[in-house]
Amino acid sequence: MNKELRVDFIACDGAGVCAELLPELLSRDEWGYPVVTEAAVPGRLRGHARKAVALCPKLALHLDL
Amino acid sequence: MITMSTTRDRLLALTAGADAARHAGLAGPLPLRGAVRPGRLGPLAQVVAASGLRGRGGGWFPLIRKMEAVAAGAGSRPPVVVVNGMEGEPLSEKDTYLLNCAPHLVMDGATLAAEALGARRIVLAVTGDTYRPLVGGTRPGLRSLLQALARDRTAYGVDPVEITVLEGPDRYLSGQETALANWINGGPPVPTTARPFRKGVDGRATLVGNVETFAHLALIARRGPEWYRAVGTPDAPGTTLLTVSGAVGHPGVLEVPLGTPVRDVLTAAGVLTEPSAVLLGGYGGAWMSGRTATGLTLDPESIAAAGGALGPGIVHVLPQGAHGLVRTAEIARWMENQGARQCGPCQFGLRAVADDLDSVIRGDAVAGDRLRRRLALLPRRGGCAHPDGVARLVASALEVFA
């Protein structure tokens, strides 16, 4: 089952950790907030995605089923 | 106040005002059947499902799906019903109008929904001091008038649960359903991630519905789903209230069957020649050229297929000779200032978009491309749909006016 990235934009303050750890799936807009370019997380990136979720300083990144 | 009453009126045929006896005479008795245990759905749910009633706050979400979600989220704790009359959209006056001319019908619907969900608390939230030019100025006494009606209804045994009437802050986002629940809970009126059907008012599963939706429910409960479906479209049955404003002969609130040609609505409002442009859906809707708009029917599917949104039933005609981009820039700036400023795309994106639109109007050749790029970065990137609405409105303005 593929998991999907979801950003809680109310919590997010644009620290940019997620885009640094997952450049394949996330970029940043001109103000630093994440742009999800590909929400579905392929198996090979699942570990990176979990790490990005865990390291977000605002706990604003989620992996949904 | 001008309304265009026709024989097809349903809600607007029942305008008894505050007079409870007159309302009962027009509408008939409230068909209560006994409250269910929390977590269950009463027999009204089958009627709602068969009717296809959809929410009139702008989302057009099927009411039965919300009711099912609330019943599922309630567990053993009685849920809460919130009647949303905040009407933060400046071009909408239909909810305030309905609360003034048919308050009992709205309260009937709230009580019926509460019974069907086993709810023990009903909140009706209004913004009483908002200026409503079409309805007739300000209504500073609306909250106290409605609370007096609610008290009487409970005293006379109409409502098993007394409706609490609250007067909320006059902000565009106050009526966004998570913002409304947050405000009723004592917080600021800004969107949250808490889903009301799971955890809304008092931490309980909460049904939040628009004023007009409850009024339709009150008639469906009495007259049945077949009656309701006799007009409207298969996907959007029944009638709906519209607020018609701008360059029209007769601005005001009117009721039409869903699927009515936009052309007929404009004619009824005294628009005699094809307008240059029409704003459908309000500040989060979209401009259409007069030609495009008059080829559409007034139902959510028809307008969405044309790239717009019916929203809470708004039809606004741009005056001949008015500058559509300038009008849109004013709206975009207002929407920026009304944002909750919680999310980056709203806090920074809306300002940038409003600035870019000003630059486009001044003739800045580079700003147009930058604006289009930025507009693509607003949708689905906020805690609510506020940036999505601005993006749709501004993009439509570029298409119609630039």
Contact present, B185 and B140 (Cβ < 8 Å)? no
Chosen from A5, A9, A35, A38 to mutate, greatest number of chain B CBs within 10 A: A9
Q: What pLDDT was estimated at residue B2?
A: 46
Contact between chains at A35 and B382 (C-beta distance less than 8 A):
no
User: B383 to chain A: which residues are within 8 Å by CB?
Assistant: 8-10
Q: What pLDDT was estimated at residue B129?
A: 65
How would you label B43-65 residue by residue, b for 16+ Cβ within 10 Å and e otherwise?
A: ebbebbbbbbbbbbbbbbebbbe
Q: What pLDDT was estimated at residue B1?
A: 41
Q: What pLDDT was estimated at residue A2?
A: 78
Least CA distance to B375: which residue of chain A?
A29
Which secondary-structure segment (H or E) carries A62? strand A61-64
Contact between chains at B343 and A12 (C-beta distance less than 8 A):
yes
Chosen from B173, B195, B343, B380 to mutate, greatest number of chain A CBs within 10 A: B343
Closest Cβ opposite residue B345 in set A8, A13, A33: A33
Contact between chains at A35 and B343 (C-beta distance less than 8 A):
no
pLDDT band at B7 (very low <50, low <70, confident <90, very high): low
Least CA distance to A12: which residue of chain B?
B343
Q: For residue A39, give how far its alpha carbon lies from the nearest alpha carbon of chain B (Å).
A: 12
What's the mean pLDDT in B142-151?
93
Is ipTM > 0.90 here? Answer: yes
- pLDDT tens per residue, range B207-260: 999 999 999 999 999 999 999 999 999 999 999 999 999 999 999 999 999 999
User: B182 to chain A: which residues are within 8 Å by CB?
Assistant: none
pLDDT band at B134 (very low <50, low <70, confident <90, very high): confident
What's the mean pLDDT in A35-60?
95
In terms of pTM, does the model score above 0.90? yes
Kindly report the three-state secondary structure assignment for every residue of chain B: CCECCCCCCCHHHCCCCCCHHHHHHHHCCCCCCCCCCCCCCCCHHHHHHHHCCECCCCCCCEHHHHHHHHHHHHCCCCCEEEEEECCCCCCCCHHHHHHHHCHHHHHHHHHHHHHHHCCCEEEEEECCCCCECCCCECCCCHHHHHHHHHHHHHHCCCCCCCEEEEECCCCHHHHCHHHHHHHHCCCCCCCCCCCCCCCCHHHCCEEEEEHHHHHHHHHHHHHCHHHHHCCECCCCECEEEEEEEECCCCCEEEEEECCEEHHHHHHHCCCCCCCCEEEECHHHCEEEEHHHHHCCEECHHHHHHCCCCCCCCEEEECCCCCCHHHHHHHHHHHHHHHCCCCCHHHHHHHHHHHHHHHHHHHCCHHHHHHHHHHHCCCCCCCCCCHHHHHHHHHHHHHHHHC
- pLDDT tens per residue, range B65-111: 999 999 999 999 999 999 999 999 999 999 999 999 999 999 999 99
Q: What pLDDT was estimated at residue B139?
A: 65
